[in-house]
Amino acid sequence: DQQVKQNSPSLSVQEGRISILNCDYTNSMFDYFLWYKKYPAEGPTFLISISSIKDKNEDGRFTVFLNKSAKHLSLHIVPSQPGDSAVYFCAASAPGADYKLSFGAGTTVTVRA
């Protein structure tokens, strides 16, 4: 049973506009969340993370928001650029489970010129 869900398999956005990627989780023990970005024929690379003690974390054009009560997090990319076209994976970890990462299925983002 997948504990981390990305219900939108794809997202198309115009260059310069905002991209919003969503992620839901079911395990209330998750206390650390990460986003990874993956280009074709490459391995995933870390993008941004957030601890459960925060509700927002920013890094340049990327902001992650966490709503613990709703078990929901989102990644905002502003402004979107053509180089942002990739697959984005949401991941989460919980203490007491060897801190293994549980990944969502991914969202493919396409930024249109």
Partner 1 sequence: DAEITQSPRHKITETGRQVTLACHQTWNHNNMFWYRQDLGHGLRLIHYSYGVQDTNKGEVSDGYSVSRSNTEDLPLTLESAASSQTSVYFCASSELAGGTDTQYFGPGTRLTVL
CB of 40 to partner 1, least distance (A): 10
Q: Which is nearer to partner 1, 13 or 92 (CB)?
A: 92
CA angle centred on 60, ends 26 and 34, rounded to 5°? 20
For residue 102, which of 87, 112, 90 has the smallest C-alpha distance? 90
What residue type is assigned to position 74 of the chain?
S
Which span (29-37, 55-63, 65-73, 75-83) binds partner 1, by CB under 8 A? Answer: 29-37
99 binds partner 1 (CB under 8 A): yes
Read off the tokens for 86: 């990739």
What string of H, E and C letters represents the secondary structure of 67-99? ECCCCEEEEEECCCCHHHCEEEEEEEECCCCCC
Q: Which is nearer to partner 1, 5 or 79 (CB)?
A: 5
Q: Which of 19, 63, 80, 93 binds partner 1 (CB under 8 A)?
A: 93
The DSSP letter of residue 29 is T
35 binds partner 1 (CB under 8 A): no
CB of 15 to partner 1, least distance (A): 27
Chain residues in the site for partner 1 (CB under 8 A): 2, 4, 6, 32, 34, 36, 41-46, 49, 51, 89, 91-94, 98-101, 103-106
